[in-house]
Amino acid sequence: MRHLSEVPVARTNVCFEGKCTFSPGRRSYPHTGVTMTEQDVGAREQKTRSELLAALLDALKDALLALRPKTLFVTDGEMIRRIGIPEKLARAAIRALDENPQSGFPKKSALWGNRRYWPAVEVWFQERYDLETGSERRKPR
């Protein structure tokens, strides 16, 4: 059995300012004063499905981000995902920062399973790119 939204509309009652007529291929929403003209049913269904899928994927992404635990200590892989840089590029940059003692980049903590303290990583980026980190402005190291 097909869902009602999948059935093509051949004729629909069109109303505007209290006047109603039958018109082929039109849908009316009298409480808003809007009348929509039907287009090719296949194209409309495809567009509607792709729009619904995009909205569903956005909602799912938001829900998953909200459910993700806010961990304090992160592996390099998790840090790379949070930063949003391609892994190959990020690993090379991390290696260079770890080798340079003057970089000030947060080191891994053996106590916490060789993970980095995420808030310190965020502060490092804020200082490095000259963003304010509280009431006073700091210079990058």
> How many other CB atoms are there within 10 angstroms of residue 15's CB atom?
15
Q: Return d(Cα 27, Cα 37) in angstroms, integer.
A: 6
- Which pLDDT belongs to residue 12? 47
Residue 78's pLDDT band (cuts 50, 70, 90):
very high
Mean pLDDT of 13-20: 52
Per-residue pLDDT at 135 exceeds 80: no
Q: DSSP for 54-90?
A: HHHHHHHHHHHHHHS---SEE-HHHHHHHHT--HHHH
For the chain, percent of residues with pLDDT exceeding 90: 38
- Residue ranges covered by each domain of the chain: 1-37, 41-67, 73-128
Q: What is the mean pLDDT of the chain?
A: 75
Query: 82 or 42: whose pLDDT is higher?
Result: 82
pLDDT band of 98, cuts 50, 70, 90 = very high
Region 115-122 average pLDDT: 94
* Mean per-residue pLDDT, 49-57: 88
Task: Evaluate if residue 28 carries a pLDDT over 90.
Answer: no
